[in-house]
Amino acid sequence: MRTPVIVGNWKMNMTPSEAKSLLEELVELDLDESVEKGVCVPAIDLLLASEILKDSDIKFGAQNMYFEESGAYTGEISPKMLNDIKADYVILGHSERREYFNEDDELINKKVLSALDHDIVPILCVGETLEEREANKQEEKVKEQLEKDLKGIEGKDITKVIIAYEPIWAIGTGKTASAEDADDMCAFIRNYIKEAFCEDCAGKIRIQYGGSMKPANVKELLAKENIDGGLIGGASLKANDFEQLINHKK
């Protein structure tokens, strides 16, 4: 039995004063305890999240990090810094990082290994473009990302990773993959984990769907066998939508 995990990705939204208000609203919500939940906030809001969420069961994390612990890497944040404020998650390999900041699989792999070394749960994003989907190459693309991004992970660690399947054409567009297509790709990912790691690992690893998930479609998506949660962009910016997403079973 896998615990569902729903995480908000605020992306580059929320000034510290806006973040403070939203975080204070979130801690007042009556949220389903059986769902693991969290928010990945901009770097400048991390300390606020750590302080405001510390007595709640809402976890928090970063949207990116560098793999080194410290040094001359202007503009970056490190796993050691995230450990110091007790961050739970770090999103890695988001398609926006891959596309706008030229992050490649080799770099993402170093970050995933570093997050695991520092006991931070990596939320690894994979997914295909519209062109790849139309050419029926979505499995080929996702398999290649998984092979490269998960390279060198030991069997004992693979189930600590959360994989987020995010078809790029569904991100922020209002277009959602059908629940069947999303489930098929999550099943494909699970099967990859079975072949590359072990059957037990495949049964335990959690796979999220991300891409225009919102209160109106969350039930249908999360009812699917292989979808264990969501990585939520736009709908995580409003306390009311976040509440409905977490409480989708109620």
Ligand X SMILES: O=C[C@H](O)COP(=O)(O)O
Positions marked catalytic: 94, 166
Q: In the complex, which residue's CB is closest to ligand X?
A: 233
Q: How many Cα atoms within 13 Å fall on the side-chain side of residue 244?
A: 13
Kindly state the smallest distance separating residue 105's Cβ from ligand X, in Å.
Answer: 18
Kindly state the smallest distance separating residue 146's Cβ from ligand X, in Å.
Answer: 18
**The tokens of 219 are what?**
């039930």
Residue 105 or 166 with smaller CB distance to ligand X: 166
Q: What residues make contact with ligand X under the rule CB under 6 A? A: 9, 94, 166, 171-172, 210-213, 231-235
Contact of 22 with 15, CB cutoff 8 Å: no
Binding-site residues for substrate sit at 9-11, 172, 212, 233-234
Coil, helix or strand for 245?
helix
Q: Which helix (H) or strand (E) holds 237?
A: none
Binding-site residues sit at 9-11, 172, 212, 233-234
Residue 103 or 166 with smaller CB distance to ligand X: 166
Kindly state the smallest distance separating residue 90's Cβ from ligand X, in Å.
Answer: 13
Phi, psi for residue 36 in degrees, rounded to 5: -75, 135
Coil, helix or strand for 100?
helix
Coil, helix or strand for 94?
coil
